[in-house]
């Protein structure tokens, strides 16, 4: 922690680094969170409070310029961790905590660990501690809109007050220096997020349970989320993916995302997928991407020979969805896993979607050219009515509204049925060709019905994805287990959102629950703010956009206000939290298009989170997904295909 989180970020004061090495952080967190004690994140400590991120504590101590012999006041002692660290540097530390229970526990902990120059008391931090003033440094561990004069006046001349100042979303960590008896100057240090500083003392009333500290009815919803969630370490920590072991007994685990352009969601799904494949027998990775493009990735991870003239997959808009800086790592990891397995036990990578009609037609014809040239001639005739529109199938959809295209649909469906029958009798590549034939049939209908509007085109698409998943499970046999990557709008049960309740739409999550029941786990992903890769219009240029902070009337704001940076929340339980979350709230959905200026109407919809998902994975601040450069060379380079990096 000291080397990676503090020294590596520029904290170079030997006294501070030494103090952090001395104080055992695991002693200051709840017993069930000790394994996360040294993560780069705040952790809940009860009463809706958190122990701050280690780096932020170090920043505050560094900014306060605490030295040997100094007298220090901390407002918001919490668990007592920061006070303990400061006591290893300063001469005397006084810490005030408004929650009597936390103050009592912190004082007991400080005494047991032997920090004799540190005193923790229950009190109102807004008033400071006038009986012990003046102080060389005052540190406030909670956000505040207006700095109390009482704290400024309790500084010595030359003393420093370090305090987060600002509103609910982001505050500025501010340093206020007393330069004269009636003079102060200030400067901002860095943006931060803290829980609010509140007035008054919270007494111990004897009504708090040992697990929740208070009756659930007396806790706010964000406090209940903090008390019930499982805090998560960094994504690259093995314990991150291990937290999802609770879903390892499912046959299908669906991993969502609330945007198509967020690095953290892709990196998290990659870590979880690798863990489930490597440790729990999952052998299907199915994504919201097209079958023919995903087939190239599937060949790569299975170590199969690739055509020298193979086109780079996933070239159409939005290319960053499946050609990004996360994908090479997970594909190489799956390839390494497959290298040690028999062919029947290998994990496969498959596309569920229906957009790439042209490549699917090419794949069907290529298969028939090799295995049944006579049938290939017939197939070319049947697909003839689609040929002019392969490059722009949406144009076909518009033209097909005119008379005379029913025969084309009949021919396409007939070809699909023949390929499906062929796949039942011959599994040497016929299965993939049949899936491509299904895609052509579904896409032909999709591009027609989309011009009528309404729910039919959406329902057709998600029905196709659900059916493709069913075919994959059937093809891989009774031991097949699938991880699915798709947007929250596809995997969250549509019946729990406006999609189903108002617009009459269903999705793959709903259809999977209806078909496989308790063998399915639906896990949504969400964020409060940060950046995202998106475009302003379909087929537009990708931009790195700033995500608006979540709305106050949204599920995202409830999660943000919990104060926990990353967590996994089980939504299958009963109790006060479940009851409150069942009340419909706004939920944000960002696809490949993001329009911040119209966000309320274009990106929020009502939902009932516990009915929509089985669990919810939260990242408070996220960053944009980075695309790979265009045209990476890969022809003939099996070790680097399909990315050339």
Q: How confident is the model at residue 597 (pLDDT cuts 50, 70, 90)?
A: confident
pLDDT(397) > 80: no
Instruction: Give Cα separations from 140 to 89, 128, 509, 583 (angstroms).
Output: 18, 10, 46, 35
Name which of 394, 387, 398 is nearest 317 in CA terms: 394
- The reported pLDDT for the residue numbered 378 is 62
| Of 142-151, 370-379, 391-400, the least confident | 391-400
How far is the C-alpha of 453 from the C-alpha of 104, rounded, in Å?
A: 63
Q: How confident is the model at residue 390 (pLDDT cuts 50, 70, 90)?
A: very low
How far is the C-alpha of 452 from the C-alpha of 170, rounded, in Å?
A: 45
Tens digit of pLDDT for each residue in 484-537?
Answer: 999 999 999 999 998 887 778 899 999 999 999 999 999 999 999 999 999 988
Tens digit of pLDDT for each residue in 430-478?
Answer: 677 666 666 556 655 554 554 444 567 678 788 888 988 998 998 888 9
Sheet holding 155-166, edge to edge: 118-122, 92-97, 71-75, 135-140, 155-166, 171-180, 183-192
Percentage of the chain beyond pLDDT 90 is 51
- The reported pLDDT for the residue numbered 439 is 58
How far is the C-alpha of 187 from the C-alpha of 173, rounded, in Å?
A: 9
| Of 225-229, 389-393, 597-601, the least confident | 389-393
Q: How confident is the model at residue 638 (pLDDT cuts 50, 70, 90)?
A: very low
* Segment 607-628 mean pLDDT: 95
- The reported pLDDT for the residue numbered 313 is 83
- The reported pLDDT for the residue numbered 358 is 53
Top pLDDT among 88 and 101 is at 88
- The reported pLDDT for the residue numbered 389 is 44
Tokens encoding 634: 């890969």
pLDDT(602) > 70: yes
pLDDT(543) > 80: yes
- The reported pLDDT for the residue numbered 388 is 46
pLDDT(399) > 70: no
How far is the C-alpha of 366 from the C-alpha of 317, rounded, in Å?
A: 25
The dihedral sign for the CA sequence 254, 256, 261, 264: negative
Query: Taking CA 551 as the corner, what is the angle to CA 548 and CA 552, rounded to the nearest 5 degrees?
Result: 145
Q: How confident is the model at residue 413 (pLDDT cuts 50, 70, 90)?
A: low
* Segment 583-605 mean pLDDT: 90
Top pLDDT among 280 and 639 is at 280
pLDDT(280) > 60: yes
How far is the C-alpha of 446 from the C-alpha of 104, rounded, in Å?
A: 64
- The reported pLDDT for the residue numbered 625 is 96
At residue 214, the 3 state secondary structure works out as: coil
- The reported pLDDT for the residue numbered 641 is 45
pLDDT(272) > 80: yes
What's the distance, CA 18 to chain centroid? Answer: 35
Q: How confident is the model at residue 230 (pLDDT cuts 50, 70, 90)?
A: very high
In this structure, what DSSP letter does residue 312 have?
Answer: P
pLDDT(557) > 70: yes
Q: How confident is the model at residue 540 (pLDDT cuts 50, 70, 90)?
A: confident
DSSP letters spanning 127-169: G--GGG--EEEEEE-SBBSS--HHHHHTEEEEEEEEEEEE-SS
How far is the C-alpha of 343 from the C-alpha of 251, rounded, in Å?
A: 20
- The reported pLDDT for the residue numbered 534 is 93
pTM higher than 0.95, yes or no?
A: no
- The reported pLDDT for the residue numbered 475 is 85
Tokens encoding 393: 């199938």
User: What is the CATH number assigned to the segment(s) 2-214?
Assistant: 3.40.50.150
Q: How confident is the model at residue 211 (pLDDT cuts 50, 70, 90)?
A: very low
Percentage of the chain beyond pLDDT 70 is 78
Q: How confident is the model at residue 415 (pLDDT cuts 50, 70, 90)?
A: low
- The reported pLDDT for the residue numbered 298 is 92
Top pLDDT among 218 and 276 is at 276
How far is the C-alpha of 614 from the C-alpha of 483, rounded, in Å?
A: 15
* Residue 47 CB neighbour total at 10 angstroms: 22
Q: How confident is the model at residue 546 (pLDDT cuts 50, 70, 90)?
A: very high
Average pLDDT, the chain: 83
* Segment 65-75 mean pLDDT: 95
Q: How confident is the model at residue 414 (pLDDT cuts 50, 70, 90)?
A: low
Top pLDDT among 597 and 526 is at 526
- The reported pLDDT for the residue numbered 469 is 95
Show which residues are catalytic: 52
- The reported pLDDT for the residue numbered 600 is 87
pLDDT(398) > 70: no
Helix axis angle, 263-280 relative to 327-339, nearest 10°?
Answer: 10
| Of 65-74, 180-189, 557-566, 628-637, the least confident | 628-637
* Segment 263-272 mean pLDDT: 97
* Segment 75-90 mean pLDDT: 94
- The reported pLDDT for the residue numbered 179 is 93
What backbone phi and psi angles, to 5 degrees, belong to 152?
-60, -40
* Segment 285-298 mean pLDDT: 89
């Amino acid at each position: 922690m000291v080397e990676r989180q503090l020294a590596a970020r520029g904290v170079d004061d030997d006294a501070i680094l030494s103090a952090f090495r001395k104080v055992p952080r695991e002693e200051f967190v709840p017993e069930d969170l000790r394994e996360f004690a040294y993560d780069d994140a705040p952790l809940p400590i009860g009463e809706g409070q958190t122990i701050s991120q280690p780096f932020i504590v170090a920043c505050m101590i560094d900014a306060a310029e605490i030295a040997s012999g100094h007298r220090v006041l901390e407002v918001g002692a919490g668990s007592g961790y920061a006070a303990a660290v400061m006591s290893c540097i300063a001469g005397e530390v006084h810490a005030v905590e408004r929650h009597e229970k936390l103050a009592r526990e912190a004082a007991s902990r400080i005494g047991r660990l032997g920090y004799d120059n540190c005193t923790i008391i229950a009190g109102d931090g807004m008033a400071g501690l006038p009986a012990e003033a003046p102080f060389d440094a005052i540190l406030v561990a909670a956000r505040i809109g207006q700095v109390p004069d009482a704290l400024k006046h309790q500084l010595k001349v030359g003393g420093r007050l370090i305090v987060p100042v600002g509103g609910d979303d982001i505050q500025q960590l501010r340093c206020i220096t007393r330069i004269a008896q009636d003079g102060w100057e200030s400067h901002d240090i860095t943006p931060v997020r803290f829980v609010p500083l509140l007035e008054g003392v919270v007494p111990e009333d004897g009504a708090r349970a040992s697990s929740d500290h208070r009756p659930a009815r007396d806790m706010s919803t964000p406090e209940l989320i903090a008390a019930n969630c499982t805090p998560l370490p960094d994504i690259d920590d093995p314990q991150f993916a291990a937290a999802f072991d609770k879903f390892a007994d499912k046959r299908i685990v669906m991993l969502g995302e609330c945007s198509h352009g967020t690095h953290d969601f892709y990196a998290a799904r990659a870590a979880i997928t690798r863990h489930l494949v490597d440790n729990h027998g999952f052998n299907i990775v199915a994504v919201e991407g097209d079958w023919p493009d995903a087939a190239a990735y599937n060949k790569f991870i299975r170590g199969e020979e690739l055509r020298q003239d193979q086109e780079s997959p996933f070239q159409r808009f939005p290319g960053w969805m499946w050609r990004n800086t996360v994908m090479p790592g997970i594909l190489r990891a799956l390839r390494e896993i497959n290298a040690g397995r028999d062919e029947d036990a290998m994990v496969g990578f498959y596309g569920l979607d229906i957009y790439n009609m042209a490549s699917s037609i090419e794949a069907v014809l290529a298969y028939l050219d090799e295995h049944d040239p006579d049938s290939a001639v017939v197939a070319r005739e049947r697909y003839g009515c689609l040929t002019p529109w392969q490059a722009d199938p949406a144009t076909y959809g518009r033209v097909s509204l005119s008379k005379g295209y029913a025969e084309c649909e009949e021919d396409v469906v007939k070809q699909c049925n023949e390929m499906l029958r062929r796949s039942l009798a011959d599994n040497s590549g016929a299965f993939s060709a049949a899936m491509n034939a299904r895609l052509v049939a579904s896409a032909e209908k999709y591009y027609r019905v989309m011009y009528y509007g309404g729910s039919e085109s959406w329902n057709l698409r998600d029905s196709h994805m659900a059916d493709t998943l069913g075919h994959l499970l059937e093809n891989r046999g009774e031991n097949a287990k699938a991880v699915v990557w798709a947007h929250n709008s596809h995997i969250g049960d549509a019946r729990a959102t406006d999609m189903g309740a108002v617009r009459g739409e269903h999705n793959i999550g709903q259809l999977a629950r209806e078909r496989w029941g308790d063998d399915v786990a639906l896990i949504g992903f969400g964020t409060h703010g940060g950046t995202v890769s998106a475009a302003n219009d379909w087929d537009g240029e990708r931009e790195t956009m700033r995500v608006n902070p979540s709305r106050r009337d949204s599920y995202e704001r409830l999660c943000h206000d919990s104060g926990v940076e990353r967590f996994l929340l089980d939504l299958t339980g009963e109790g006060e939290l479940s009851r409150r979350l069942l009340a419909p709230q706004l939920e944000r959905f960002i696809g490949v298009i993001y329009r911040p200026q119209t966000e309320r109407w274009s990106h929020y919809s009502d939902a009932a989170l516990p009915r929509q998902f089985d669990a919810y994975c939260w990242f408070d601040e996220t960053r944009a997904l980075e695309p790979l450069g265009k045209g990476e060379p890969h022809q003939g380079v099996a070790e680097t295909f399909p990315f050339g990096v």
